[in-house]
Structure 1
């Protein structure tokens, strides 16, 4: 086990506890990076201005730098610091906060769902993206296409991506870009979300298009993992099936989050949690470990629906906290309601975690099929 393989291990949490006991911030010689495993260390790294989301020498991953996927990646607010992050965020975050939860539930309810493995996969991955696309003003048929293209685009965001996935991602990014340009040019589009973003956005039109694509791409894996990990919890603890979905998901995202870790890159020498880090150093932040730190949450290894003062790093913290947390939780709750109302036999679900260095996203089969 190492801090990267832990993300898809059957139960990484005892290992995370060992890491915390060995020191909240330590250098891993095998991976050649620092590992922040305690809540104090993770919070300190996220608050440090010299800890950036991308290395200065490689703002876009080399594997995608020469194609359209790289063009989009380079403009995403979550992959930038400074003004390239603040400008789109200042336009998008307020608009997301004004979304009507009823509209989200209605959009999820309107989607078809088949109570089989394929239907479950589409509900977890494609459905949430289609909801976001609909909120942005795409027609239902267009929203399905956007969700399919997003699936191809996000495949390039992992270091594990192969050449064919990267080629498909470049093609998908080009089609997504064209679709959003057409959406923005269509005077007949009626979307409060899109209107709110456009009203506040000041800057490069290409950055606006890229970050609208980013709303879809961020939804894809994060919502799928949250929904999937909630289903696993419901299988393991059937008494939770009648619990309010919002309470259930609030604890799932702390207890077994879909994003287990992220990275920061040192732009300058600094001291963090008593350790001296050099410019160019890399820090792996184990948010899933920090969530289980007793210094952050009492009885952290218990799943408590009514957890007092629940704290979590699963959606980030500080300047890069996810602006779409509320929307993601609402989409996940509505989707979970639809899945459970379908009569899907949770006890028949089997799963494995999809290959990833940072995500914990279950892929399901039913009855061994």
Structure 2
């Protein structure tokens, strides 16, 4: 077993740069097997890489999804994006958010992945009407089709015309980008504007009560439970955000796998997307923050310490339960839309292939978007 502390003299690749490294998986595998939990002094983070250690951190009661003293990223604080972010249940811990979570999870679970894939095929025709599949169009498609499909399945009027569908997806992407620690001032300002636009659009898009459909029923159940309507609306937008970058990454990495010519003949896009969620996962890591001193994975950690949880490293040596890819998390903040995300990614790849996208050509000219946690190819 190697020491629990990694010095500045280690290899150039580190747990954060690995996200966009051409091939980080030998490095991840070495960490998972030999450094399952350690302190990276240069990054100022604890790092969990082994499957057991990842599970332990994600289930520990003192490991929170946000720093207790910083519920909203400082760059977003005081903006519409910060107000929206602060209401997201996936960015909060504690009993106060449990009632809404108890309503949202069944809502997602009720969406049949096969029906979602079928609907994505229909919406792809709207989005791609009369356009050639250049690399730029492929990039746009990756970020648009999954978001538009989920919005449509929830009953939101995105299929009115192509312009509306693209506008909704674009604002969702802008809000998602603003949440990144790498976001510059312009990106944060764009995210604030996008959050405001989405809130107004959603208020106008919801039919007046009484009405049927997933979202009116959600609002009715939330009202009966005493849940703030703004929290409900924020988390509807949050669902669209979850369908944005991570699903775009999964679909893009699936295209790369096809382009490298290593996929067995007869493998369908949906099946391949499920495999890529393990072998080249879209979300490579997540973070947890200690709310109190604790003993974690055999080490004393202090209140305020941060733990970088390497989901991709855990994937190198196994999945959480033999079925769910680690990229969708574990514990209290497990993503409830794992099967839906894989179905939407597969359907997006299928739609692109049907419209002439060439995975081999795409794989010859791409880079990874700058990110500290998501592995998202950008085709050139």
TM-score, normalised to structure 2, is: 0.88
SS at match of 1:61: coil
Give the unaligned 5+ runs of structure 2. 1-12
Q: Does the aligned pair in 1 maintain the 2:291–2:303 contact within 8 Å? A: yes
- Correspondent of 1:316 among 308, 329, 344: 329
Deviations 1:115-149 (A, max 9, x none): 22122112210111111221222221343321121
- Runs of 4 or more off by more than 4 Å in structure 1? 187-190
Superposition pairs for residues 1-369 of structure 1, below 5 Å? 1-110=13-122, 111=124, 112-113=127-128, 114-139=132-157, 140=159, 141=161, 142-187=164-209, 192-201=213-222, 202=225, 203-240=227-264, 242-293=266-317, 296=318, 309-349=322-362, 350-365=365-380
Deviation of 1:277 after TM superposition, in Å, equals 1.1
SS at match of 1:237: coil
Deviations 1:177-212 (A, max 9, x none): 11112223535976x332443344231111001101
Give the unaligned 5+ runs of structure 1. 298-307
| Distance change >3 Å, CA 179–CA 265, structure 1 → 2 | same
Q: Does the aligned pair in 1 maintain the 2:287–2:307 contact within 8 Å? A: yes
CA–CA distance in structure 2, aligned partners of residues 343 and 170 of structure 1:
36
CA–CA distance in structure 2, aligned partners of residues 69 and 149 of structure 1:
11
Q: Does the aligned pair in 2 maintain the 1:78–1:85 contact within 8 Å? A: no
TM-score, normalised to structure 1, is: 0.90
Deviation of 1:103 after TM superposition, in Å, equals 3.9
Aligned residues: 352
Deviation of 1:234 after TM superposition, in Å, equals 1.0
Q: Does the aligned pair in 1 maintain the 2:207–2:216 contact within 8 Å? A: no
The two structures, once aligned, show a CA RMSD in angstroms of 1.9
Q: Does the aligned pair in 2 maintain the 1:150–1:217 contact within 8 Å? A: yes
